[in-house]
Structure formats: structure tokens, C-alpha cells
Amino acid sequence: MPNPPDTEPPPRRQGRRSRAAFEAYAMLAPSILGFAVFLIAPIVIVVVLSFYDWNLLSDPEFIGLENYRELAGDERALKSIGNTFYYVLLNIPAQTVLALLLALALNSKIKARNTFRVLYVLPWMAMPVALGVIWRWVFDPQYGALNRFLDLFGVDGAAWLTDSSWAMPVIASVNVWQYTGYTMLFFLAGLQAIPAQLYEAADVDGASPLYRFFAITLPLLRPAMLFVLITSVIGSFQVFDTIHVMTAGGPAGSTATLNYQIYLESFTQRNAGYASMLAVVLFAIIALITLAQAALFRKRTTYDFS
Amino acid sequence: MKKIPLYLVLIMGALVSVGPYLLTLNAAFKSKQEILTSEPWALPANPIFSNFGEVWSRYDFATFVVNSVIVAVAVTIGQLVFSTLAAYAFARLDFPGRDQLFWAYIATLMVPQIVTLVPTFIIVRELGLVDTHVGLIMPFVFGFLMPYGVFLVRQYFKTIPSSIEDAARIDGAGTFTILWRVMIPMAKPILGTLAIISFVNTWNNLLWPLIITHSESTRVITRGIAQMQSQFNQEYHLILAASTMALLPLVAVFLVFQRHIVRSIALSGMK
């Protein structure tokens, strides 16, 4: 708010400031209260619980760093961390590259642009549980559309979801299917913000399309790229619904991501303390990756939070 | 003419994009036997409606729908009201600790739902709200989605020139009048975006209802579908009919408001 003119007497000025502060806190009160109870308190509690042994019912028992020590020898949990990275690596490059190519295609002069855009974004808002059910059917080795389709060409399709080497790529492909169109919208907005003169100038200089892409398009898409990568990586670490209905973490734990493992430990094994330790680990991984991404992009992208 | 390959690729991609919907809709009208014997892309020989009826009679599907609507609408309204109030304070008012508090909000955007899940469950249990609608709603309004809503609206408020507000203030308008008469009307696009994001996220969420509800009377659609899936693994005619009903409302809303929704999504990516 603007400073009051200097002619105003100090007491009045003081009064206006404290009144503004009072109004601000009044407006923020519900939000801050909720923030404290449903975000700050849970974050503090999860860290504290990670030093306890607790089955959600009896009295928690303090065991210090025991949960963290146990992790080193817990093959299932370590595997779930590996699964998570595998999933992110299957998911993010495919989704980002496809979305970028799609955005470039839909940014060119083609007919029915809006129709294509709508059709590609359609999967985004679909209920992931229902999608999981549908895709599970599509990938059904006997009755599913995919293997029936492959049959037409004499190809024997795999038992996708019960084959431990196929299950994770299948889950990742469902995610790519769901979010490519959505991600494309951010690239499309980024592309449309690039001034046309830049391309005209490049044309005058006789630049090739490939050169234009790497010299103009890609650098100017940095803010969109940073946003897309940060949000989709954070999102990838949280995949739950499709795994829950398509494989429930199987076969042989091959699709149990860390996120899913935390759910199993918390609510089926009832190891709340151990699960909290895993949650702290998950958060540390996400925070590190997000900061690393932000640092990598920092050189030319400034996010204006002011 | 040289664009033909591009069109072919785009059309194939679009088919992959909507194919699963069409296959599901198609299967929902087939009998149990026909789903197993016919090709998934073949049209039903004799379209039947009994699958839908069976879902409604074997489950209290109406209750699931009502619960999902109650929860999603309540969360959306809560988000709009509390995020707007907080966003205005962060964007325009001057008070001690403002920037630090805002950064704390931003930092929690990185915290996945699963990380705070056990503590949130404990807190809701302590409040005596397990298996209640309020218990379903509150953590969404104040926890899972809230910082994002505040961030989104605050960034938008920042782009509105403060000279407009100053003019209203000179005319004697108070803070709440300015918010209600000046800021909110100007921020309609972003509030629409927030409403869509809140509704879709809550409507589609499985994890929280899975943990906090157990009786039929509080069951939402997502939990109902997950339960059907585990009970009738291979009874595709039932679970596909249920999935069709779960997907159709949002697909319909999307197709009707597609222009606005597509713009909304792009808007949520601005800074």
C-alpha cells in the first residue's frame, strides 16, 4: 500500500498501518489456521513419528534413528525407491518430448486445431481410478483390446500387467497418455508468447527449421519447460490410483513405488513410524530434485514472486 | 499436401487419446458374455442397458454420486472463499511477516499428499471426524490444495493495477468493498481456473476417501469404483458400466466448457 503523504501526523499513520495489519490477519485467519493444522502440524508430526515405533493404536515408542537404520537393510523399501526413479525416467522424458512435439504441431497452421487440442486434453480430467479400471481391461491378456488388436497381425501380446518386466512401463504409459495433452497446453502457451519477429529475422538470415528450433524456440520456452518439469516430476512421485487398481504394487513388487509403499506400510501393515520415515525420505528426494531443477534453469529464467 | 503425414499422425494420436473412452462406452452396452467373446471395437450386437441398472441396484451408486458432489462442491466453495481472502492479503496488504509466511505456503507446494497422510489421518481422528463428510472435506480445503489456490490467485491479483483500487479507496471504499466490488470481478478468469482445478482434483481423488471413510453412507465414487474393481475383478460388464458413469459427468462438462477450461489450464501455468 502506498505511503501516506508526509504532511500526515505520525499517530494517524500508525493507526492506518495497524488497521491494515489487523484487516490482513482477519482475512488470513481461516487460511492460516487451516495451514497450521493441516499442513504445518502434519509435516512436524511426520518428522517426529519417523523416530517412533507405532501401530496407530497403542502408545508410540521412541526408537531414535532405528527406522532410518532399518531402511538400509529393507530390500522392499529400497526396491520401491528404485521403482520410483524407474517410473519417473519412463514417464517424464516421453511425456515432455511428446507434449513439445504436439505443441509444435498444433502451433503450426493446420485445420481443426481446436478439435485436436480438445481431444488431446480430454484424458487429463478423467478420474484416474476409472482409467485404471479401463486400462486394466485394455491390457487384459485374453480379453483386452490391445492383445486382440495385436492378434490381427499374428503377434502374441504379453501378459502385460502380470509380467514384472512389463507392468511398470504399462503404468507409465497410462500416465503419459493421460498427461501429454495437458502438458502440451503449457508449451503451446509458451510458443504463442514467442514474438513472430524473431522467426522473421531468422528467415531473413536463411536459418534452417532445426536451427530456428534450437536457437529461438527452445531457449524461449525455458520458463514453460521449468514449470512443466517441476510440476510433472512432483506429480510423478505421487502416482497412486492407477497402481492401486491396475497392479496393487505387483507383480512381485515391481510396480510398488515409494509413494505406494508408504501407503501399504501405513494402512495395511500399520507401521506408522516406519512409514513416516519413508515419507521423510520421499520428501527429501522431491525437495532435492526440485531445487536441482530450479538451479539448472536459474541462469536465464527468473520467477517473479514479488 | 505435404501436411498429410502430419494430419495422419495427429489423427492417430487423437484416436489413442479418445480410444479408451470409446471402447469403454461401447463395452458398457454389451452383455457379460459378449464382452468376453466379441472384439472390443465391434459394436454391441444388441445394445443393452441392464449393466447400468445392475450397478445401481447392487451398489448404492446414487449415494456415491451424491457424496462425491457434496464433497467436491464444498471443497470448491471453500477454496474460492479462503484462497481469495488470503490471496488478497498477501497481494495487497502490508503486515509483519507477510513475505515469510507466503514463502512458507509456497514451500509446502512441494509436499506430496502421501507425506502428510498419516498425521492428517491422526488429526482428523482426534477431531472425531473419521468417516464423516466434514472429515472428507476439511483437509482438502485447508491442506492438500490450499497453498496452490492462494498462490494462483495472489499472482493474478498482483497483475491488477493498484491505481484502480486507489481510486476506489479515495471514494471511501473499505478493504472488503474493494475486494468484493473491484478485485473479484476482475479476477474472474483465475477464480474459474481455481474452481475447475479444485473440483476435478477432489472429484478424482481416491487416496483420502480410501483412508478416512469406511461405511456406505460416506462412500464417494472413486472409492466405490476401487471397491468394485477388487470385488469383481473379471466382471468387466459391471466395472466398465460403473466407470462410464464415473467419467461421463466430467467429460460432458469438459466438452461444454472446453474453450474456457483449456484457457484455464494455460492460465494456471503463468508464473
DSSP B234: T
Name the phi and psi angles at A61, rounded to 5: -115, 125
Average pLDDT over residues B128-145: 92
* Model ipTM value: 0.88
- Angstrom distance (rounded) from CA A226 to CA A228: 5
CA distance B18 to chain A (A): 7
With a cut of 70, say whether residue B234 has pLDDT above it: yes
What pLDDT is recorded for position A15? 65
Residue A52, helix vs strand vs coil: strand
Per-residue pLDDT tens over the stretch A37-57:
999 999 999 999 999 999 888
Side-chain half-sphere exposure of B88, counting CA atoms within 13 A: 27
Query: Which comes out higher in pLDDT, residue A5 or A105?
Result: A105
Q: Are B156 and B93 in contact (CB under 8 A)?
A: no
Residues of B in contact with A129 (CB under 8 A): 204, 206, 222, 225-226, 229, 246
Residues of A in contact with B115 (CB under 8 A): 42-43, 46, 262, 279-280, 282-283
Entry pTM: 0.88
What pLDDT is recorded for position A16? 65
Contact B93 A23 (CB under 8 A): yes
Question: Which residue is associated with the grid cell 510433472?
Answer: A232
Q: ∠ CA(B262), CA(B268), CA(B271), 5° rounding?
A: 135
CA distance A6 to chain B (A): 17
Nearest neighbour of A25 by CB, restricted to B18, B83, B95: B95
Residue partners of A186: CB distance under 8 A and separation at least 6: A99, A224, A227, A228, B265, B266, B269
CA distance A204 to chain B (A): 23
Residue partners of A305: CB distance under 8 A and separation at least 6: B102, B106
Contact A41 B94 (CB under 8 A): no
CA distance A201 to chain B (A): 24
Reported confidence tier of residue A282, pLDDT bands at 50, 70, 90: very high
